[in-house]
Amino acid sequence: MGVLIDLQDQPAWDSDVFKDFQAPIVRRGANGRREGLLAGYGMYPMKLQRRDFEAQQAKLPPTSDPKKMRKFKGYETMNARDDSLGTRVTYKGAWKNSQLCLVPATSFIEPCYETGKNVWMEIGLVDEPMFAVAGLWREWPGENGPEIVFTQITVNANEHPLMKRMHKPGEEKRSLVVVPREEWDDWLDCKDPEYARTFLRLYPAELMKTWPKPKVVRSTLTVGDNFELKF
C-alpha cells in the first residue's frame, strides 16, 4: 500500500488477528501521505473496559450488597455497525472527526451453518490477493504513550448473494466494507461523515470468493521462536 510500518522492536502481527491483537492499519498522516502503523484490534480494548468497570465498582457505597455486585463481562468493539457510527459513544467521536483508516487483509473469516453446523469460511477477492476494508481509529492514553486502536465498519448484507450465507439462520447478515483500490485515498481524505457513508456499500459478490478455513496446528513455541504454521 506504499507505506512502511515502524515495528519499534515489536513482533510482527499474527497471520490470524483476533480481539486486542496488534494489526496493521493505514491512515492519513500529518504530512498528507498514507501512514502505516500497528494498532490494537477493538475500539475499546478489554483491558480498558475492565479498568473502567472496576473504577465504577469502587465508587459503590460500602454498604452495597455483594450479591448485587455486577460481574465484568465486557463487549465487543471489533466491528462497528454503520447505523450506530454517529450515535454509539464508542464510535461517534472518531466518526465525527473523520478518523478513517484502511485495514489491509488477505481474507476475513465468518461462520457458515449451511451444513447444519458451524464451518469457518475464509472470504477474499477473486483478483486481489490483498485488499482493504473500511475502519475507524482512535487513540487511548497508555502507560508508555498513546495507544492506537481500530474497528472495522459493517453494513447489512441480508440480500448479498455471498454474505447472506454466513452466520446462523435467522440472524441479521452483516459484511465488512471492502474499499476498492481506486477509492483508498478518497476514503482516507474524506472529512464529511455524511459523504463518508457513500463508501459504505457491499462489494460485488461475483468479485468475491470463499473457501473453508484450513485447520491450523501451531508448533510448541518459546519466546523468540519463529513460529511455523502447518496445514
Asked whether residue 216 carries a pLDDT value surpassing 70, the answer given is no
Mean of pLDDT over the chain = 87
Residue located via cell numbers 498514507: 34
Between residues 206 and 145, which one has the greater pLDDT? 206
Element (H, E) at 139: strand 131-142
- pLDDT at residue 58 in the model: 76
Asked whether residue 2 carries a pLDDT value surpassing 50, the answer given is yes
Asked whether residue 67 carries a pLDDT value surpassing 60, the answer given is no
Give the mean pLDDT of 127-135.
96
Confidence category of residue 51, pLDDT binned at 50, 70, 90:
confident
Helix ranges, the chain (H): 46-58, 89-96, 184-189, 193-196
- pLDDT at residue 117 in the model: 93
SS3 156: strand
Rounded CA-CA distance 19/144 in Å is 21
Asked whether residue 1 carries a pLDDT value surpassing 80, the answer given is yes
Asked whether residue 183 carries a pLDDT value surpassing 70, the answer given is yes
Rounded CA-CA distance 139/201 in Å is 26
Dihedral (CA of 125, 129, 134, 136) sign: positive
Confidence category of residue 56, pLDDT binned at 50, 70, 90:
confident
Total residues found in the chain within this entry: 231
Rounded CA-CA distance 171/24 in Å is 30
Between residues 95 and 214, which one has the greater pLDDT? 95
SS3 48: helix
Between residues 230 and 78, which one has the greater pLDDT? 78
Confidence category of residue 217, pLDDT binned at 50, 70, 90:
low
- pLDDT at residue 53 in the model: 80
One-character DSSP codes across 202-215: PPPGGGEEEEEPPP
Q: Which of 3-12, 44-53, 120-129 has the highest mean pLDDT?
A: 120-129
Confidence category of residue 65, pLDDT binned at 50, 70, 90:
low
pLDDT in tens, 68-86: 567 778 888 999 999 999 9
